[in-house]
Amino acid sequence: MMGGVANEPWLDDEEQQAWRNFLLMRRTLETHLTRHLQREFGLSASDFEILVNLSESVTGRMRAYELGEATQWEKSRMSHHLSRMEKRGLIRKEACDARYPEIVLTDEGLAAIKACAPAHARRVREFFADVLGRDRMVALGEASAEVVEAVEKHEHTNCPPEIRGCG
């Protein structure tokens, strides 16, 4: 029909192929990992991320804000998700501060992450680390950091006025 709409000077065929491979890879990997986590342990990727962060903290308790920094989620997403997790007994909100409730890992939550972490890590190794090999994996980690930095730098200077605040 057009064949050229995305074929501007912007990306040539080889680059586009690489980009599409990347998109496919990330979805394939994510779908696969998520589905197994869900089926075998009843945890979503989001659940997993929260539980990992909590379990890695020294006290097993954090404020939602800290979790937000660690995960880079929107605050409303965090709030919604923590409510759902609380309903399922994976975490608990404790009102120590009478303003900023603390998010506490419950025994059940701890048990859940302990149960699924090895299988998850094994899959990451099998499908990612082993396939790439150490060198390429480290290189990808560095490249990733560069991309994140580039995006964030741009967000600083170029985001829409409602958000900017910097100017």
- Residues of this chain that bind DNA (CB under 7 A): 31, 34-35, 38, 44-47, 63-65, 68, 73-84, 93, 98-101
Instruction: Provide the minimum distance between the beta carbon of 42 and a second copy in the complex, in angstroms, as a whole number.
Output: 15
Q: Which of 144, 142, 162 is nearest to 152 (CA)?
A: 144
Rank residues 58 and 98 by Cβ distance to a second copy and give the closer one.
58
Torsion of Cα atoms, 73 then 74 then 79 then 83, to 10°: -50
Closest separation between CB of residue 9 and DNA, Å?
Answer: 29
In sequence order, the β-bridge partners of residue 93 are: 103
> CB 87 → a second copy: shortest distance, Å?
22
- Does residue 117 belong to the site contacting a second copy (CB under 8 A)? yes
Residues in region 29-58 near a second copy by CB under 8 A? 29, 32, 39, 52, 54-58
Phi, psi of 94, deg, nearest 5: -115, 130
Quick one: which of 27, 63, 61, 62 has its CA closest to 45?
A: 27
